[in-house]
Chains A and B, each alone.
Chain A
Amino acid sequence: MKHLTEEELVERYYGEGADAAGVHLEECAECAASLAMLENELAPMRVADVPERSADYAEQMWARVEAGLPPRPAKPSQVARPTLWRALRFAAAGAVVVAGAFYGGTVYEHWQQHKTQAKVQPAPAAPAQPKVVVVVLGDHLDRSERLLVELKHADAESPEVVNPLRDEAQSLLAANREFRDDAVKEGDPALTLALNHLDSLLTEIANQPGGLDAAGLARIRSEMNADGLLFEVRVLRSKNPHRTKAVRVLARGGAA
Protein backbone atom coordinates (compact mmCIF):
# COMPACT_ATOMS: atom_id res chain seq x y z
CA MET A 1 0.00 0.00 0.00
CA LYS A 2 1.30 3.41 -0.96
CA HIS A 3 1.11 5.83 1.96
CA LEU A 4 0.21 9.49 1.67
CA THR A 5 3.05 11.95 1.30
CA GLU A 6 3.54 14.75 3.81
CA GLU A 7 2.22 17.19 1.22
CA GLU A 8 -0.96 15.16 0.77
CA LEU A 9 -1.42 15.00 4.52
CA VAL A 10 -1.11 18.77 4.75
CA GLU A 11 -3.73 19.13 2.01
CA ARG A 12 -6.10 16.82 3.90
CA TYR A 13 -5.45 18.71 7.11
CA TYR A 14 -6.76 21.86 5.42
CA GLY A 15 -9.73 20.00 3.93
CA GLU A 16 -8.35 19.92 0.40
CA GLY A 17 -6.73 17.30 -1.83
CA ALA A 18 -7.99 14.32 -3.80
CA ASP A 19 -10.91 12.21 -2.57
CA ALA A 20 -8.71 9.14 -2.95
CA ALA A 21 -6.55 10.44 -0.13
CA GLY A 22 -9.62 10.58 2.11
CA VAL A 23 -10.52 7.01 1.25
CA HIS A 24 -6.94 5.93 1.95
CA LEU A 25 -7.02 7.61 5.35
CA GLU A 26 -10.08 5.60 6.33
CA GLU A 27 -8.29 2.37 5.50
CA CYS A 28 -4.72 3.11 6.61
CA ALA A 29 -4.14 3.43 10.34
CA GLU A 30 -0.55 4.57 9.82
CA CYS A 31 -1.53 7.57 7.65
CA ALA A 32 -4.44 8.37 9.97
CA ALA A 33 -1.96 8.46 12.85
CA SER A 34 0.35 10.75 10.86
CA LEU A 35 -2.54 13.12 10.21
CA ALA A 36 -3.51 13.07 13.89
CA MET A 37 0.08 13.91 14.80
CA LEU A 38 0.09 16.80 12.35
CA GLU A 39 -3.17 18.12 13.85
CA ASN A 40 -1.75 17.82 17.32
CA GLU A 41 1.50 19.57 16.44
CA LEU A 42 -0.18 22.48 14.70
CA ALA A 43 -2.87 22.95 17.35
CA PRO A 44 -1.01 25.73 19.24
CA MET A 45 -0.79 27.69 16.01
CA ARG A 46 -4.60 27.67 15.74
CA VAL A 47 -5.23 29.67 18.89
CA ALA A 48 -6.35 33.17 18.07
CA ASP A 49 -4.45 35.42 20.41
CA VAL A 50 -4.83 38.84 18.87
CA PRO A 51 -4.05 41.58 21.42
CA GLU A 52 -7.03 43.52 22.74
CA ARG A 53 -7.53 47.01 21.35
CA SER A 54 -9.21 49.79 23.28
CA ALA A 55 -12.88 50.53 22.69
CA ASP A 56 -12.05 53.70 20.77
CA TYR A 57 -9.38 52.05 18.64
CA ALA A 58 -11.32 52.64 15.41
CA GLU A 59 -11.65 56.38 16.21
CA GLN A 60 -7.94 56.56 17.06
CA MET A 61 -7.08 54.90 13.78
CA TRP A 62 -9.30 57.28 11.84
CA ALA A 63 -7.49 60.21 13.50
CA ARG A 64 -4.16 58.74 12.38
CA VAL A 65 -5.40 58.10 8.86
CA GLU A 66 -7.03 61.51 8.57
CA ALA A 67 -3.77 63.21 9.57
CA GLY A 68 -2.07 61.51 6.62
CA LEU A 69 -4.70 62.41 4.02
CA PRO A 70 -4.07 65.21 1.50
CA PRO A 71 -5.56 68.59 2.52
CA ARG A 72 -9.22 69.23 1.68
CA PRO A 73 -9.77 71.33 -1.42
CA ALA A 74 -11.31 74.69 -0.47
CA LYS A 75 -15.05 74.69 -1.28
CA PRO A 76 -16.41 77.87 -2.88
CA SER A 77 -18.80 79.63 -0.53
CA GLN A 78 -22.49 80.28 -1.35
CA VAL A 79 -21.83 84.03 -1.61
CA ALA A 80 -19.01 83.57 -4.05
CA ARG A 81 -20.95 81.31 -6.44
CA PRO A 82 -22.71 83.98 -8.59
CA THR A 83 -19.38 85.78 -9.06
CA LEU A 84 -17.70 82.53 -10.00
CA TRP A 85 -20.47 81.74 -12.50
CA ARG A 86 -20.12 85.17 -14.08
CA ALA A 87 -16.34 84.74 -14.35
CA LEU A 88 -16.82 81.38 -16.02
CA ARG A 89 -19.17 82.92 -18.60
CA PHE A 90 -16.60 85.62 -19.39
CA ALA A 91 -13.89 82.99 -19.70
CA ALA A 92 -16.02 80.93 -22.09
CA ALA A 93 -16.76 83.95 -24.25
CA GLY A 94 -13.05 84.81 -24.36
CA ALA A 95 -12.21 81.25 -25.34
CA VAL A 96 -14.66 81.42 -28.28
CA VAL A 97 -13.03 84.67 -29.52
CA VAL A 98 -9.52 83.20 -29.24
CA ALA A 99 -10.55 79.98 -31.02
CA GLY A 100 -12.14 82.02 -33.85
CA ALA A 101 -9.00 84.09 -34.30
CA PHE A 102 -6.86 80.97 -34.29
CA TYR A 103 -9.06 79.30 -36.94
CA GLY A 104 -8.95 82.43 -39.14
CA GLY A 105 -5.17 82.60 -38.87
CA THR A 106 -4.81 78.93 -39.76
CA VAL A 107 -7.00 79.33 -42.88
CA TYR A 108 -5.04 82.41 -43.98
CA GLU A 109 -1.70 80.68 -43.49
CA HIS A 110 -2.85 77.65 -45.44
CA TRP A 111 -4.01 79.89 -48.28
CA GLN A 112 -0.64 81.71 -48.33
CA GLN A 113 1.28 78.45 -48.49
CA HIS A 114 -0.85 77.18 -51.33
CA LYS A 115 -0.32 80.44 -53.19
CA THR A 116 3.47 80.46 -53.06
CA GLN A 117 3.81 76.68 -53.62
CA ALA A 118 6.59 76.75 -51.10
CA LYS A 119 7.99 73.40 -50.19
CA VAL A 120 8.76 73.17 -46.54
CA GLN A 121 10.91 70.33 -45.33
CA PRO A 122 9.72 68.89 -42.04
CA ALA A 123 12.13 69.60 -39.21
CA PRO A 124 14.13 66.56 -38.18
CA ALA A 125 12.91 65.04 -34.95
CA ALA A 126 15.00 66.13 -31.97
CA PRO A 127 17.22 63.30 -30.75
CA ALA A 128 16.05 61.71 -27.51
CA GLN A 129 17.95 63.26 -24.64
CA PRO A 130 19.84 60.80 -22.51
CA LYS A 131 18.91 60.70 -18.84
CA VAL A 132 21.83 61.90 -16.76
CA VAL A 133 22.44 60.15 -13.47
CA VAL A 134 25.02 61.28 -10.92
CA VAL A 135 26.49 58.44 -8.89
CA VAL A 136 28.79 58.76 -5.89
CA LEU A 137 31.28 55.96 -5.31
CA GLY A 138 30.39 55.78 -1.60
CA ASP A 139 26.71 55.26 -2.43
CA HIS A 140 27.63 52.68 -5.06
CA LEU A 141 29.69 50.75 -2.51
CA ASP A 142 26.83 51.03 0.02
CA ARG A 143 24.36 49.55 -2.44
CA SER A 144 26.83 46.84 -3.44
CA GLU A 145 27.38 45.97 0.20
CA ARG A 146 23.65 45.68 0.79
CA LEU A 147 23.33 43.41 -2.23
CA LEU A 148 26.15 41.19 -0.99
CA VAL A 149 24.56 40.97 2.46
CA GLU A 150 21.21 40.05 0.93
CA LEU A 151 22.92 37.50 -1.29
CA LYS A 152 24.54 35.97 1.76
CA HIS A 153 21.20 35.51 3.51
CA ALA A 154 18.98 35.00 0.49
CA ASP A 155 16.45 32.21 0.52
CA ALA A 156 16.86 31.19 -3.09
CA GLU A 157 13.54 29.35 -3.19
CA SER A 158 11.66 32.57 -2.90
CA PRO A 159 11.22 34.66 -6.09
CA GLU A 160 10.34 37.78 -4.11
CA VAL A 161 13.86 37.65 -2.65
CA VAL A 162 15.73 36.56 -5.77
CA ASN A 163 14.15 38.83 -8.40
CA PRO A 164 15.00 42.12 -6.64
CA LEU A 165 18.58 40.84 -6.24
CA ARG A 166 18.86 40.30 -9.98
CA ASP A 167 17.33 43.71 -10.75
CA GLU A 168 19.65 45.46 -8.32
CA ALA A 169 22.68 43.70 -9.84
CA GLN A 170 21.61 44.88 -13.31
CA SER A 171 21.23 48.46 -12.15
CA LEU A 172 24.65 48.46 -10.41
CA LEU A 173 26.62 47.12 -13.36
CA ALA A 174 26.98 50.33 -15.44
CA ALA A 175 28.18 52.50 -12.57
CA ASN A 176 30.53 49.79 -11.40
CA ARG A 177 32.26 49.66 -14.79
CA GLU A 178 32.67 53.44 -14.88
CA PHE A 179 34.24 53.51 -11.43
CA ARG A 180 36.47 50.57 -12.30
CA ASP A 181 37.75 52.34 -15.44
CA ASP A 182 38.44 55.45 -13.35
CA ALA A 183 40.33 53.36 -10.80
CA VAL A 184 42.48 51.85 -13.59
CA LYS A 185 43.24 55.31 -14.99
CA GLU A 186 44.10 56.67 -11.57
CA GLY A 187 46.32 53.67 -10.73
CA ASP A 188 44.38 52.45 -7.67
CA PRO A 189 45.07 48.68 -7.66
CA ALA A 190 43.00 47.83 -4.56
CA LEU A 191 39.91 49.57 -5.87
CA THR A 192 40.44 48.15 -9.38
CA LEU A 193 40.72 44.63 -7.99
CA ALA A 194 37.61 44.92 -5.84
CA LEU A 195 35.52 46.51 -8.59
CA ASN A 196 36.71 43.86 -11.07
CA HIS A 197 35.63 41.18 -8.63
CA LEU A 198 32.31 42.98 -8.11
CA ASP A 199 31.83 43.29 -11.87
CA SER A 200 32.16 39.52 -12.36
CA LEU A 201 29.72 38.79 -9.54
CA LEU A 202 27.14 41.36 -10.68
CA THR A 203 27.35 40.00 -14.23
CA GLU A 204 26.75 36.48 -12.94
CA ILE A 205 23.71 37.50 -10.90
CA ALA A 206 22.26 39.79 -13.55
CA ASN A 207 22.63 37.37 -16.45
CA GLN A 208 21.90 33.88 -15.11
CA PRO A 209 20.37 31.99 -18.04
CA GLY A 210 16.85 30.89 -17.09
CA GLY A 211 16.91 33.08 -13.96
CA LEU A 212 18.39 32.52 -10.54
CA ASP A 213 17.64 29.38 -8.59
CA ALA A 214 18.87 27.87 -5.33
CA ALA A 215 21.74 25.96 -6.96
CA GLY A 216 22.77 28.99 -9.03
CA LEU A 217 22.88 31.28 -6.02
CA ALA A 218 24.84 28.79 -3.93
CA ARG A 219 27.33 28.34 -6.79
CA ILE A 220 27.76 32.09 -7.23
CA ARG A 221 28.26 32.55 -3.49
CA SER A 222 30.99 29.95 -3.29
CA GLU A 223 32.68 30.22 -6.72
CA MET A 224 32.73 34.00 -6.73
CA ASN A 225 33.72 34.19 -3.05
CA ALA A 226 30.92 36.62 -2.24
CA ASP A 227 31.83 36.72 1.47
CA GLY A 228 35.40 37.70 0.62
CA LEU A 229 34.12 40.43 -1.65
CA LEU A 230 31.84 41.76 1.09
CA PHE A 231 34.90 42.06 3.30
CA GLU A 232 36.86 43.81 0.52
CA VAL A 233 34.06 46.34 -0.01
CA ARG A 234 33.89 47.12 3.70
CA VAL A 235 37.64 47.57 3.94
CA LEU A 236 37.60 49.90 0.93
CA ARG A 237 34.91 52.04 2.48
CA SER A 238 36.54 52.29 5.88
CA LYS A 239 40.10 52.90 4.65
CA ASN A 240 39.36 55.43 1.95
CA PRO A 241 36.59 57.73 3.18
CA HIS A 242 37.85 60.60 0.97
CA ARG A 243 38.01 58.36 -2.12
CA THR A 244 34.39 57.27 -1.76
CA LYS A 245 33.28 60.84 -2.44
CA ALA A 246 34.29 60.44 -6.12
CA VAL A 247 31.39 61.30 -8.42
CA ARG A 248 30.57 59.85 -11.83
CA VAL A 249 27.99 61.12 -14.29
CA LEU A 250 26.26 58.40 -16.24
CA ALA A 251 24.09 58.80 -19.31
CA ARG A 252 21.25 56.30 -19.57
CA GLY A 253 18.89 55.86 -22.50
CA GLY A 254 18.48 58.26 -25.44
CA ALA A 255 21.32 59.04 -27.85
CA ALA A 256 24.21 59.08 -25.41
Chain B
Amino acid sequence: MGQNDGAAIEAVLAGDRDAFGELVKRHTRMLFRLAWRMTGNEADADDVVQEAFLRAYQKLATFEARADFGTWIYRIALHCALDRLQRRRAEEARRKSEVADPEEDAVQVADLRPGPERLAMSAEIGALQEFAMRGLTAMERTAFVLRHMEDRSTEEIAAALEVTPNTAKQSVYRAVRKVRHRLMQMKVMA
Protein backbone atom coordinates (compact mmCIF):
# COMPACT_ATOMS: atom_id res chain seq x y z
CA MET B 1 0.00 0.00 0.00
CA GLY B 2 1.22 3.48 -0.74
CA GLN B 3 2.54 5.22 2.37
CA ASN B 4 0.20 8.13 1.77
CA ASP B 5 -2.82 5.84 1.57
CA GLY B 6 -1.88 4.17 4.84
CA ALA B 7 -1.55 7.50 6.66
CA ALA B 8 -4.84 8.75 5.22
CA ILE B 9 -6.65 5.57 6.28
CA GLU B 10 -5.29 5.86 9.82
CA ALA B 11 -6.41 9.47 9.95
CA VAL B 12 -9.91 8.58 8.72
CA LEU B 13 -10.21 5.81 11.31
CA ALA B 14 -9.12 8.27 13.97
CA GLY B 15 -12.04 10.51 13.02
CA ASP B 16 -10.56 12.81 10.36
CA ARG B 17 -13.13 12.56 7.62
CA ASP B 18 -11.32 15.03 5.37
CA ALA B 19 -8.48 12.53 5.06
CA PHE B 20 -10.92 10.33 3.12
CA GLY B 21 -11.06 13.14 0.57
CA GLU B 22 -7.37 12.55 -0.12
CA LEU B 23 -8.09 8.90 -0.92
CA VAL B 24 -11.00 9.86 -3.15
CA LYS B 25 -8.93 12.39 -5.06
CA ARG B 26 -6.05 9.96 -5.48
CA HIS B 27 -8.05 7.03 -6.86
CA THR B 28 -11.03 8.64 -8.62
CA ARG B 29 -9.66 8.64 -12.15
CA MET B 30 -8.57 5.00 -12.03
CA LEU B 31 -12.04 4.01 -10.83
CA PHE B 32 -13.76 6.14 -13.45
CA ARG B 33 -11.78 4.43 -16.22
CA LEU B 34 -12.85 1.00 -14.95
CA ALA B 35 -16.46 2.05 -14.33
CA TRP B 36 -16.77 3.63 -17.77
CA ARG B 37 -15.39 0.55 -19.47
CA MET B 38 -17.81 -1.60 -17.52
CA THR B 39 -20.95 0.48 -17.99
CA GLY B 40 -20.16 2.27 -21.28
CA ASN B 41 -21.96 5.31 -19.93
CA GLU B 42 -20.49 8.42 -18.26
CA ALA B 43 -23.38 9.11 -15.88
CA ASP B 44 -23.47 5.48 -14.73
CA ALA B 45 -19.69 5.48 -14.35
CA ASP B 46 -19.82 8.59 -12.11
CA ASP B 47 -22.49 6.94 -9.97
CA VAL B 48 -20.45 3.75 -9.70
CA VAL B 49 -17.37 5.70 -8.54
CA GLN B 50 -19.40 7.56 -5.92
CA GLU B 51 -21.05 4.37 -4.68
CA ALA B 52 -17.69 2.58 -4.48
CA PHE B 53 -16.21 5.30 -2.25
CA LEU B 54 -19.28 5.35 -0.03
CA ARG B 55 -19.11 1.58 0.42
CA ALA B 56 -15.39 1.80 1.10
CA TYR B 57 -15.94 4.47 3.77
CA GLN B 58 -18.49 2.27 5.53
CA LYS B 59 -16.19 -0.76 5.42
CA LEU B 60 -12.92 1.03 6.09
CA ALA B 61 -12.64 -0.41 9.60
CA THR B 62 -12.50 -3.91 8.07
CA PHE B 63 -9.71 -2.97 5.65
CA GLU B 64 -6.49 -4.82 6.42
CA ALA B 65 -3.57 -2.47 6.86
CA ARG B 66 -1.23 -4.81 4.96
CA ALA B 67 -3.43 -4.80 1.86
CA ASP B 68 -3.25 -2.33 -0.99
CA PHE B 69 -5.99 0.29 -0.82
CA GLY B 70 -5.93 0.75 -4.61
CA THR B 71 -6.63 -2.95 -5.20
CA TRP B 72 -9.29 -2.98 -2.51
CA ILE B 73 -11.22 0.02 -3.82
CA TYR B 74 -10.83 -1.29 -7.39
CA ARG B 75 -12.62 -4.50 -6.41
CA ILE B 76 -15.34 -2.60 -4.62
CA ALA B 77 -15.90 -0.47 -7.74
CA LEU B 78 -15.95 -3.60 -9.87
CA HIS B 79 -18.75 -5.08 -7.78
CA CYS B 80 -20.67 -1.80 -7.81
CA ALA B 81 -20.43 -1.77 -11.62
CA LEU B 82 -21.46 -5.41 -11.80
CA ASP B 83 -24.53 -4.70 -9.64
CA ARG B 84 -25.45 -1.78 -11.87
CA LEU B 85 -25.09 -3.88 -15.03
CA GLN B 86 -27.33 -6.58 -13.58
CA ARG B 87 -29.97 -4.06 -12.56
CA ARG B 88 -29.83 -2.44 -16.00
CA ARG B 89 -30.16 -5.81 -17.69
CA ALA B 90 -33.22 -6.70 -15.60
CA GLU B 91 -34.82 -3.31 -16.39
CA GLU B 92 -34.14 -3.73 -20.10
CA ALA B 93 -35.66 -7.22 -20.06
CA ARG B 94 -38.71 -5.85 -18.29
CA ARG B 95 -39.10 -2.99 -20.75
CA LYS B 96 -38.78 -5.30 -23.73
CA SER B 97 -41.37 -7.68 -22.35
CA GLU B 98 -43.84 -4.82 -22.02
CA VAL B 99 -43.90 -4.47 -25.79
CA ALA B 100 -46.71 -6.84 -26.65
CA ASP B 101 -46.58 -6.57 -30.44
CA PRO B 102 -43.63 -8.56 -31.84
CA GLU B 103 -43.37 -6.27 -34.87
CA GLU B 104 -43.18 -3.24 -32.64
CA ASP B 105 -40.49 -5.01 -30.66
CA ALA B 106 -38.47 -5.71 -33.77
CA VAL B 107 -38.62 -2.06 -34.76
CA GLN B 108 -37.54 -0.99 -31.31
CA VAL B 109 -34.56 -3.34 -31.28
CA ALA B 110 -33.51 -2.14 -34.70
CA ASP B 111 -33.68 1.45 -33.48
CA LEU B 112 -31.48 0.70 -30.50
CA ARG B 113 -28.63 -0.61 -32.60
CA PRO B 114 -26.28 1.87 -34.19
CA GLY B 115 -26.72 1.47 -37.94
CA PRO B 116 -23.82 0.17 -40.02
CA GLU B 117 -23.48 3.50 -41.82
CA ARG B 118 -23.31 5.41 -38.58
CA LEU B 119 -20.74 3.02 -37.21
CA ALA B 120 -18.68 2.93 -40.41
CA MET B 121 -18.66 6.70 -40.78
CA SER B 122 -18.26 7.51 -37.15
CA ALA B 123 -14.87 7.47 -35.51
CA GLU B 124 -16.55 6.63 -32.21
CA ILE B 125 -14.64 3.60 -31.08
CA GLY B 126 -16.62 3.72 -27.86
CA ALA B 127 -19.87 3.13 -29.75
CA LEU B 128 -18.32 0.23 -31.63
CA GLN B 129 -17.03 -1.33 -28.44
CA GLU B 130 -20.39 -0.87 -26.78
CA PHE B 131 -22.15 -2.53 -29.71
CA ALA B 132 -19.72 -5.45 -29.69
CA MET B 133 -20.16 -6.01 -25.96
CA ARG B 134 -23.93 -5.64 -25.87
CA GLY B 135 -24.61 -9.38 -26.03
CA LEU B 136 -22.40 -10.22 -23.05
CA THR B 137 -23.72 -11.19 -19.65
CA ALA B 138 -22.63 -9.03 -16.73
CA MET B 139 -20.03 -11.64 -15.70
CA GLU B 140 -18.66 -12.01 -19.25
CA ARG B 141 -18.48 -8.27 -19.70
CA THR B 142 -16.58 -7.85 -16.46
CA ALA B 143 -14.17 -10.65 -17.29
CA PHE B 144 -13.61 -9.24 -20.79
CA VAL B 145 -13.04 -5.66 -19.60
CA LEU B 146 -10.57 -6.82 -16.98
CA ARG B 147 -8.70 -9.14 -19.35
CA HIS B 148 -8.78 -7.22 -22.56
CA MET B 149 -8.82 -3.59 -21.52
CA GLU B 150 -7.34 -3.57 -18.06
CA ASP B 151 -4.74 -6.30 -18.78
CA ARG B 152 -5.52 -8.24 -15.62
CA SER B 153 -4.39 -11.86 -15.37
CA THR B 154 -6.80 -14.79 -15.05
CA GLU B 155 -5.88 -15.11 -11.35
CA GLU B 156 -6.57 -11.43 -10.71
CA ILE B 157 -9.93 -11.66 -12.47
CA ALA B 158 -10.83 -14.78 -10.50
CA ALA B 159 -9.90 -13.08 -7.21
CA ALA B 160 -11.83 -9.93 -8.08
CA LEU B 161 -14.94 -11.84 -9.11
CA GLU B 162 -14.59 -14.41 -6.33
CA VAL B 163 -14.74 -17.34 -8.76
CA THR B 164 -12.28 -20.09 -9.68
CA PRO B 165 -9.57 -19.31 -12.25
CA ASN B 166 -11.19 -21.79 -14.62
CA THR B 167 -14.56 -20.02 -14.38
CA ALA B 168 -12.81 -16.70 -15.01
CA LYS B 169 -11.01 -18.15 -18.03
CA GLN B 170 -14.24 -19.60 -19.43
CA SER B 171 -15.99 -16.26 -19.01
CA VAL B 172 -13.23 -14.50 -20.93
CA TYR B 173 -13.38 -17.14 -23.67
CA ARG B 174 -17.16 -16.92 -24.04
CA ALA B 175 -16.93 -13.13 -24.11
CA VAL B 176 -14.28 -13.19 -26.85
CA ARG B 177 -16.39 -15.53 -28.95
CA LYS B 178 -19.45 -13.32 -28.62
CA VAL B 179 -17.49 -10.12 -29.30
CA ARG B 180 -15.94 -11.62 -32.44
CA HIS B 181 -19.35 -12.72 -33.60
CA ARG B 182 -20.80 -9.23 -33.09
CA LEU B 183 -17.86 -7.59 -34.86
CA MET B 184 -18.33 -10.00 -37.74
CA GLN B 185 -22.05 -9.14 -37.91
CA MET B 186 -21.13 -5.49 -38.09
CA LYS B 187 -18.73 -6.06 -40.98
CA VAL B 188 -21.48 -7.89 -42.89
CA MET B 189 -23.93 -5.02 -42.21
CA ALA B 190 -21.39 -2.46 -43.39
**A residues lining the B interface (CB < 8 Å):** 6-7, 10-11, 13-14, 16, 38, 41-42, 44-51, 53, 57-59, 61-62, 64-66, 68-69, 72-73, 75, 146, 149-150, 152-153, 155, 157-158, 160-161, 230
Contacts and interface: CB of A to CB of B under 8 A. Distances in A.
A44 B174 CA distance: 18
Contacts of B20: 65, 69
Given A42-B148, A42-B179, A62 B97 contact: no
B53 A61 contact: yes
Nearest to A17: B169
B28 A57 contact: yes
B86 interface: yes
Nearest to A8: B173
Nearest to A14: B147
A45 B136 CA distance: 14
A65 B97 contact: no
Contacts of B46: 61, 64
Given A45-B129, A62-B25, A149-B93, 19 more contacts: A10-B172, A11-B169, A14-B172, A16-B153, A38-B180, A41-B180, A48-B149, A50-B37, A51-B126, A53-B32, A58-B24, A61-B28, A65-B50, A65-B57, A68-B50, A75-B15, A146-B90, A149-B97, A152-B93
Interface of A is mostly: helix
Contacts of A155: 137
A68 to B, nearest CB: 5
Interface residues of B, number: 50
B94 interface: yes
Contacts of A46: 148-149
B50 to A, nearest CB: 5
Contact of B180 (A42, A64, A66, A149): A42
Contacts of B21: 62, 65-66
A72 B17 contact: yes
Contacts of A75: 15
Contacts of B126: 49, 51
Contact of B28 (A47, A58, A73): A58
A127 to B, nearest CB: 36
A57 B35 CA distance: 15
Contacts of A45: 129, 132, 148-149, 179, 183
Contacts of B96: 153
A50 B33 contact: yes
B106 to A, nearest CB: 16
Contacts of B81: none
A14 B153 CA distance: 9
B129 A161 contact: no
Contacts of A153: 93, 96-97
A160 B148 contact: no
